[in-house]
Amino acid sequence: MSAEIVERVLAFIAAFVVGGTAIFQLKNELPARGLDASVTKVLLGLMIVGCVFAVLASVRVLGG
Amino acid sequence: MSALNSPLEAVEARYLDVDPVYAETRDIRLLGFVMALGADCVLFSSFIFAYLYLRTASPAWPPFVGGHQLPRLDTAFAALNSMVLFGSGVTMHYALENWKHLKKQAFNGWLAATIVLGILFLLGQGHEYLSAQMTWQGSSFGASFFTLTGMHGFHVLVGVCYLIVLMIQSNRGVYTGSKYFGLTAGTLYWHFVDVIWVFLFFLFYLW
C-alpha cells in the first residue's frame, strides 16, 4: 500500500472522529451565552467545515 | 484544586473565589482579545485576497515556470496534517471544559495533547516545505503559498508557546475555578488558528 493511500485512509478516519467530536462539542456549547461562547460556536462550526473538506479530499472529490 | 465528581459540586466550588474586579473587567478584556483576533483576520484576509487576485489573473494554475507547469501540492498529506491541527482544536476545547469542571488532571492531559498535536502539525508543515517543488522567489504560487502558510505556521508556533505558558501558569495556581480568562483566550486563539487553516487548506490544496 502506498504512503498516499495510508495518508488518505488516516485522514478520512480522523476527519470523522474529529468532526463528530466537534459536532458533539458544538451541541453542548449551543445553550451557552456570552461573547466567548458565541465566538467558540462560530469557530467550532468552521472547524466542522474543515473536517468535511478533509473527508472530501481524502476520497478525491476535492483536490484531485 | 481537587477533582470533583458532581457538576453541582464543581459549580459551587467555582464561585467560592469570585473576585469582583476580575468579574468587572473580564468582559472588556474578552472584547479586546476578540478584536485582536479580528485584526489578525484582516491581516490574513489581505494576503488571501492578494492570492486570489494572482490566481484569477493567471492564465493557468499552478502557473508555468520555465515552460513547465508547477505540480499541485500533496493533498493527501495536507488532509492528514489538517486533521492533526483540527484534532488539536478538539483537545483544547476539552482542556477548557475540564478546567471549568475543576478536573485538573484531565485538563493537563488534554492541554499536553494539544501542544503535542500543534508541534506535530508544525513538523508536518516543515516536511511539506522541504518536499515542495517550488521556491518563494520562483513563482506567484510559491510566494503566496510560503507567505500565507508561513504566517499561519508562525501563529501556530506562537500558540504552542502560549499553551506551554498556560500549562505552567495553571499548575502554579495562577488560574482558579472562577478566574481563568487566560485559558479562555488561549482556547479562542487556538480555534482561530484552526479556522484560518480551513481557508488555507481549501485555497491551496483543494481548489
pLDDT digit string, tens, across residues B82-91: 999 999 999 9
Contacts of B87 in chain A (CB under 8 A): 14, 17-18
Burial class (CB in 10 A: 0-12, 13-18, 19+), A1: exposed
- The CATH number of B18-206, from 3.40.50.300, 1.10.1140.10, 3.30.360.10, 1.20.120.80, is 1.20.120.80
Q: What does the pLDDT read at residue B133?
A: 85
Q: Are B125 and B200 in contact (CB under 8 A)?
A: no
Question: Does B8 contact A at CB distance below 8 Å?
Answer: no
Q: What does the pLDDT read at residue B55?
A: 93
pTM: 0.89
DSSP B102: T
| Residues in Cβ contact with B111 at an 8 Å cutoff, skipping those fewer than 6 apart | B91, B92, B95, B163, B166, B167, B170
Q: Give the pLDDT confidence of A9-61 residue by residue, as tens digits.
A: 999 999 999 999 999 999 999 999 988 899 999 999 999 999 999 999 999 99
How far apart are alpha carbons B30 and B182 in whole angstroms?
10
Q: Do A57 and B75 touch (CB under 8 A)?
A: yes
Average pLDDT along chain B: 90
Amino acid symbol at B120: L
How far apart are alpha carbons B48 and B200 in whole angstroms?
8
How far apart are alpha carbons B88 and B116 in whole angstroms?
8
Q: How many CB pairs under 8 A join A and B?
A: 114
How far apart are alpha carbons B176 and B9 in whole angstroms?
15
List % helix, strand, coil for chain B (3-state, nearest 5).
Answer: 80, 0, 20
Q: Give the pLDDT confidence of B54-93 residue by residue, as tens digits.
A: 999 988 888 888 888 888 888 999 999 999 999 999 999 9
Return the residue of B nearest to A62 by Cα: B206
Question: Does B87 contact A at CB distance below 8 Å?
Answer: yes
